[in-house]
Structure 1
C-alpha cells in the first residue's frame, strides 16, 4: 500500500501539472484552488465574495475526496489581490471549518495564475484515525 496518494477530481480544471491534493499518511495537502470552473472559466467575475464562496466550496469537495472535512484543516493559506478583501473570508471559512480554527496566513499578491481571479487558497488537513 502506497503512503502517498494523488487526488484529482474530474470536476476540477487542470491548470498545471498538479493534483488537486496529495495524501501522505494522515496528512492531506490541498493544492491552490482558484475560482474557475471545470472548463477553466472564471467564476464570480469581479466579485470577491462569490469567488471566495466558490473556492471554499471546492475545498469542501477536495477535503471529502481525501477523507477529511473542514474541522480537519490544520493550516490554510489565502492569497488575495487586495488585502482589503480579507473581510470576505469570514463567512465561507466559518461554513467550511465551523468552530475549528486552523493556523492561517493571508497574503496580498499582485496577480494570480488566472486573469480576474482575486483569491486563491491552499490547505493542509490531518485525517482523523
Structure 2
C-alpha cells in the first residue's frame, strides 16, 4: 500500500480543519510544483498554542500532513511548536512516500510562518 493507515485516516477525517477568524498568527505556504497550498491559523494564550486550524488545497498527503502537524502543536508552547520538523510529521504519519515528503515540509513551513506572524503582531502591540 502506498499510504499508511494513519495517512489515510488523517486524509479521510482531517482534524482541525477550518479558519480562526481572529487568529493570532496565520501562515500560508504554497508549492507550485505540486499545487499544494497550506494555510495554518493559530491562537496563542500565554505562549501556549490553544487552538490551531488549517485550510489545505492539495493532495491527500498534504491534507494528512496538515492535520497531523496541527494535532502535534495544539496545546504546546510556541517554542516547542517551532521545533516541529517535517521528519517528525512524516514519522507520526507512519511515513510518507518519498515523492510526497515535500508535503510534510510544507506543514513545517506553514506552522513556522504562522508563529512568525504571531510574533510580529505581538511585537507591534507592545510598541
Higher helix share: 2
Higher strand share: 1
TM-score (norm 1): 0.34
TM-score (norm 2): 0.35
